[in-house]
Amino acid sequence: MGNFVFRNYSWIAVAVTATAIVVILVSRAPQREALIGSTIGGVLGFCYFAQKQKLEELRLFNELFRDFNRRYDRMNGRLEDICTGNSVDGTELKKALMDYFNLCAEEYLFFKEGYIHPQVWQSWCRGMLYYLRNSRIRQVWNEEMISDSYYGLTLLVIEQGAARH
């Protein structure tokens, strides 16, 4: 509901203002001008709040997006080494993958809260599926899924996220 309001606040403001003015004029209430002025003031306040909220959410998204990508960039080489079968010992492999799974779970948590754009989440899920096709990564993933410690992130959630339209 919140995204709908913030995406369509200008239309909502116009509709509320027009409806309120019609109701005030039809009701023939005393001090109609003051009521209309109050209505317009309230709607302008709502518009200011909606724009400010959208701007704050955009700033948060940008901050999260940059942080997630920065962290992913630092581990990308190690993930590719794991995929290509380059020598990565068991302890290092598990640590690298747990770091990656934690990063994915954090992105999922922020997506569920509405702070990550659906297209970004879809792209992230497709990247996760790429890595989960690797048998070494998939084995560690399956072991980790037993703990249920990734904020509800599961293979099904990832597949559904990758398939979003």
Amino acid 2: pLDDT: 56
What does the DSSP 8-state code read for residue 164?
-
Amino acid 165: pLDDT: 61
Indicate the residue type of 115. Answer: Y
Residue pointed to by tokens 């955009």:
58
Buried b (16+ CB within 10 A) or exposed e, 65-80: beebeebbeeeeebbe
Amino acid 46: pLDDT: 92
Residues in the chain with pLDDT values less than 50: none
Amino acid 79: pLDDT: 92
Amino acid 114: pLDDT: 87
Amino acid 6: pLDDT: 74
Amino acid 47: pLDDT: 92
* Burial label, 53 (beta-carbon count in 10 A; 0-12, 13-18, 19+): middle
Residue 33, SS3 per DSSP: helix
